[in-house]
């Protein structure tokens, strides 16, 4: 069963090819030349353009940026005063999406000292190792507020930032757990000393003390994050628990979608495509296959129209 068509979904390899193609298109404005940088014919990308509206929109934006970059130096020579020679250089960086004062979205040419794709990747890489937003932002050369603003404006960057933070959290947690293990012996010095004497108390005080710590000692205490807070109504408590459950479900759904995308990339069965197309099997040429016949190739054929079977011709075998 062939893999179902899903709009605006590329494999990782196709997405990388599209990124290189669009970068070359922004630099040259020539579709054929941009495709030749990857060793492909322009029809490969024109077919993708016809089937994927989002890719077609990026294509159009790349052509507009290339056209603007090619025409900008002539306006500068005329003394229009717009831009500078630095901005007039043809850039292969993808355009940035900006919301104007009237609320409309607009594609703009990336400028110097602005948060670009390379800075995002540097920030995410550092965040996946440290789980520290401010430190990662400093490593990328920008303020932490710039990345928080990008997270608010871009759902895709918000997802990647959340995943990078989760990866960094796991690394820091793994390092911290090493100190929590019983074999670390970082906090067990008190167990090797004689316990101090119990202070004097009455029977009522002892019973009250046991009552206060009964749930904690016997592992019956309610987790703090689901415990009803002071002054919280039953409706607010129920709403908060429901919101926490829905947030966990959303994270699990996102993790499932990422796993499905990875399985789809490898050609494995997925929920939406349980029967992926089988990979073609390439058979060797028959002249390279040996050992399938026991016929004697040195035996002279007195009748070339009769085949040999096991070194015997049927007519000779019947006569024997």
Cross-strand partners of 312: 309
Q: Report the length, in residues, of the chain.
A: 320
28 CB-contact burial (10 Å; exposed 0-12 / middle 13-18 / buried 19+): middle
Spatial contact of 92 and 23, defined as CB atoms under 8 Å apart: yes
Work out the number of other CB atoms within 10 angstroms of the CB of residue 264: 19
Output the pLDDT for position 76: 45
The structure's pTM equals 0.43
Smallest CA-to-CA distance from 165 within 180, 153, 147 is with 147
Output the pLDDT for position 260: 87
What is the DSSP annotation of the chain? -PPPP-TT---HHHHHHHHHHHHHHHHH--HHHHHHTTT--HHHHHHHHHH-HHHHHHHHHHHHHHHHHHHHHHHHHTT---S-HHHHS---SPPEEEE-TTS-EEEE---TTS--HHHHHHHHHHHHHH--HHHHHHHHTS-HHHHHHHHHH-HHHHHHHHHHHHHHHHHHHHHHHHHHSGGG-SS-GGGGSPPPPPPP--HHHHHHHHHHTHHHHTT-PPPGGGSPPTT--HHHHHHHHHHHHHHHHHHHHHHHHHHHHHHHHHT---SS-SSPPPPPP-PPPGGG--SS----TTS--S-TTS-EETTEEHHHHHH-
Output the pLDDT for position 162: 93
Output the pLDDT for position 5: 42
Q: What is the largest CA-CA distance in the chain?
A: 119
Output the pLDDT for position 210: 85
Q: For residue 82, what is the DSSP state?
A: -
**What does the block give as tokens for 314?**
């049927």
Task: Name every residue whose Cβ is closer than 8 Å to that of residue 100 and which is 6 or more positions away in sequence.
Answer: 106
Q: What is the pLDDT along the chain (320 residues), one digit of tens a residue?
A: 444 444 457 888 888 888 889 888 888 888 888 898 888 888 999 998 888 888 888 888 788 777 767 665 554 434 444 444 444 445 556 666 666 777 776 666 666 667 888 889 989 988 988 888 988 888 888 899 999 998 998 888 999 999 999 998 988 888 777 667 666 666 677 777 777 888 888 888 888 888 887 767 776 666 677 778 888 898 998 898 898 889 889 888 888 888 888 888 888 888 888 888 776 667 767 666 666 566 666 666 566 666 655 555 555 555 55
């Amino acid at each position: 069963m062939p893999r179902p068509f899903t709009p605006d979904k590329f494999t990782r390899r196709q997405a990388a090819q599209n990124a290189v193609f669009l970068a070359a298109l922004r630099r040259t404005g020539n579709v054929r030349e941009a495709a030749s940088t990857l060793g492909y014919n322009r029809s490969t990308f024109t077919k993708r353009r016809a089937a994927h509206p989002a890719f077609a929109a990026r294509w159009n934006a790349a052509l507009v940026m290339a056209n603007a970059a090619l025409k900008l130096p002539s306006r500068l020579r005329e003394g229009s005063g717009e831009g500078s020679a630095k901005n007039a250089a043809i850039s292969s960086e993808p355009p940035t999406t900006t919301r104007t004062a009237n609320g409309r979205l607009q594609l703009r040419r990336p400028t110097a000292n602005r948060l670009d794709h390379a800075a995002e990747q540097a920030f995410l890489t550092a965040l996946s190792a440290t789980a520290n937003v401010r430190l990662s932002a400093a490593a990328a050369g920008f303020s932490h507020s710039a990345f928080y603003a990008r997270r608010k404006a871009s759902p895709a960057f918000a997802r990647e930032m959340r995943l990078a933070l989760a990866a960094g959290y796991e690394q820091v947690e793994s390092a911290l757990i090493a100190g929590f293990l019983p074999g670390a012996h970082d906090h067990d010095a008190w167990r090797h000393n004689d316990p101090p004497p119990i202070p004097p108390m009455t029977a009522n005080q002892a019973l009250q003390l046991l009552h206060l710590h009964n749930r904690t000692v016997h592992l019956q205490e309610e987790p703090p994050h689901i415990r009803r807070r002071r002054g919280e109504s039953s409706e607010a408590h129920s709403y908060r628990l429901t919101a926490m459950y829905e947030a966990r479900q959303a994270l699990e759904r996102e993790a499932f979608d990422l796993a499905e995308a990875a399985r789809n990339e490898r050609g494995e069965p997925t929920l939406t495509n349980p029967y992926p197309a089988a990979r073609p099997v390439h058979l060797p040429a028959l002249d390279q296959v040996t050992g399938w016949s026991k016929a004697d190739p040195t035996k002279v054929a007195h009748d070339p129209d009769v085949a040999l079977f096991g070194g015997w011709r049927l007519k000779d075998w019947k006569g024997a």
